Chain A
Amino acid sequence: MTPPQKPLSRVVEACPPSGIRRFFDLAQTMSGVISLGVGEPDFPTPWGVRETAIHALTRGATTYTSNSGLLELRELVCADLAGRCGVTYRPADECLVTSGVSEGLDLALRALLNPGDEVIVPEPCYVAYQPCVAFAGGTPVPVAMDPAQGYRLDAERIAAAVTPRTKAVLFGSPSNPTGAAQSAADLTALAALAAREDFWLVSDEIYDRLTYVGHHTSTAAVDGAWDRTVLLGGFSKSYAMTGWRVGYVCAPEPLAALMHRIHQYTMLCAPHVSQVAAVEALRSAEPDVAEMVADYDRRRRLFVKGLDELGLTCPEPGGAFYAFPSIRASGLSSQDFAEALLNSQKVAVVPGDVFGPSGEGHVRCSYATALPLLEEALERIGRFLTTRA
């Protein structure tokens, strides 16, 4: 028996597999690896949240919820966004609970794009952005940001890539992989460009609470941005809830309605028990978040300083839990650096080029790792650099 000979989806076949797969397979064969390659918190979900979810299961929270998600959760999300970021959304029709930002991103792009529409994606960026644009029928247009300027969103560079087909700019702040948290001034400049050229801003704010220098600025909060912004957020990073798959998307009503339409026919709803857990997270886990943020911040300082002393310099990451140092001094490509470091010192980092060509010459290191391990990793990286010198 052979499968049908007609070609499979050309769009999907044209999309390269994730660049970290090879490293994952390599690390699987080793023991004693210190992983700085992980894009999720090393904390477990706060116990109070888990206990609530367990209790909810015993009481039968095993069903579908409404497509939009539990109203109580949407009300809490909107109140939280209003209080923390100064942005206002109606729980009834401008906020949708999704299976993580990943689903929200897919919904936003599918609801926004017509074939041939272009989406400008500032680089380096999260690995899923460009594939998701392509899967939704659009054309991703990567534009490199400048490490020397801390990967700030440079409206001038973005303006140079705008065409009549530009439908949106898609970015994350704080950023995976660079840790860059965008300033209100840069977001305002981008919003002005969006108004002038008539495109949308798709803003991935999953790391919003993990901001260490000043406060998080939501894209939707800057002047003139709300009407053209899709705000994506969730619980995975701030509340250490990656495996629960629960997040939200907020947007003006006409777009929110279209996202709702896709969601109702595809995902139906985010997992019920995860929505109950998210309610509890917003109600009671703020002190847990504060403790985790304080801990990440201490590790961030120690780790970035340690990298700097090893000659692996990086702009100060203002958010998320990543450092994105330059490894050019080693003379290696980022793929070779990551592979040699893993093989010789058993430290896992992610080569920067998987986040776009402009990530070449860098590696992503996650400091969501216990302090003693981070310190040991710094020592091992130091040995690696010395033996190569």
Chain B
Amino acid sequence: MHEILTVLESDARATPERIAALTGIAEDEVRAAIAGWEADGVIRRYKTVVDWDRFGDERVRAFVDVTVAPERGRGFDDVAERIAKFREIRAVYLVSGAQDLRVEVEGSSMKEVADFVAQKLSGVDRVTATSTHFLLRRYKDDGQLLTDPEPDQRLSYTP
């Protein structure tokens, strides 16, 4: 069953028929398993890894380390959930280290991202400091290398 998810994680478009051929699990079992995982949230959604730089679309992403004064009794959950609701926020993680939250912000320009951090994010209640790192170049994303693949140097026939 684990195999089904492994296939889907690398190819979200894999049909149940194809997954059955790849894993040896019967097609109707594959369908039932996927339906179950979709229902209980094991499968969150089906996504495509897009190299927007290559497409030519200007998107600016920044990693922002956020220091938070935790709320008595609720820890970081309340402030993290409030930050996560902004459209500009792509990811929110509670992390170990000097800062508390690491969030990812996306916008169409550096100014847009900077304005969001300065005016919205840093103004969220209990946020005491932010430290912004603009993403300059992406080499690997979501396990996918975005650099050119190594050429296949094998000969066409070998014993």
Contacts and interface: CB of A to CB of B under 8 A. Distances in A.
Interface of A: 18, 20, 23-24, 27-28, 33, 35, 37-40, 42, 44, 126-128, 176, 294, 298-299, 301-302, 305, 348, 350
Contact of B154 (A18, A38, A127, A298): A38
A383 B157 CA distance: 22
Among B3, B150, B155, chain A packs the most CB atoms within 10 A around the CB of B155
A305 B17 CA distance: 12
Contacts of B159: 18, 20, 39, 126-128, 176
Contact of A301 (B6, B21, B150): B21
Given A301-B23, A302-B22, A348 B157 contact: yes
Interface string B92-136: 000000000000000000000000000000000000000000000
Contact of B157 (A23, A294, A301): A23
Interface in B1-59: 3, 6-7, 18, 21-24
Contacts of B150: 44
A28 B157 CA distance: 10
B147 interface: no
A39 B158 contact: yes
B20 to A, nearest CB: 9
In the complex, which range does the number of interface residues on chain B fall in?
Answer: 10 to 19
A21 B156 CA distance: 11
Contacts, number: 52
Given A298-B23, A302-B22, A28 B7 contact: no
Given A294-B6, A298-B7, A37 B156 contact: yes
B141 interface: no
B154 A40 contact: yes
A35 B152 CA distance: 11
Contacts of B152: 42
A72 to B, nearest CB: 29
Contacts of A35: 154, 156-157
Nearest to A102: B159
Nearest to A22: B157
A42 B154 contact: yes
Contacts of A176: 159
18 contacts: A20-B158, A24-B156, A27-B156, A33-B156, A35-B154, A37-B157, A37-B158, A38-B155, A38-B157, A39-B158, A39-B159, A126-B159, A128-B159, A298-B3, A301-B22, A301-B24, A302-B21, A350-B157
Nearest to A294: B6
Contacts of B156: 24, 27-28, 33, 35, 37-38, 348
A188 to B, nearest CB: 28
Contacts of B21: 301-302, 305
B124 to A, nearest CB: 40
Contacts of A18: 159
A317 to B, nearest CB: 14
The 8 closest A-B pairs by CB, nearest first: A298-B22, A37-B157, A35-B156, A27-B156, A24-B157, A39-B158, A20-B157, A127-B159
A378 to B, nearest CB: 11
A38 B153 CA distance: 11
Contacts of B155: 24, 38
Nearest to A128: B159
A179 to B, nearest CB: 15
Contacts of A126: 159
Contacts of A298: 3, 7, 22-23
Nearest to B18: A302
Contacts of B158: 20, 37-40
Given A38-B155, A128-B159, A298-B23, 20 more contacts: A20-B158, A20-B159, A27-B156, A27-B157, A33-B156, A35-B154, A35-B156, A37-B156, A38-B154, A39-B159, A40-B158, A44-B150, A126-B159, A127-B159, A298-B22, A299-B22, A301-B21, A301-B22, A301-B23, A302-B22
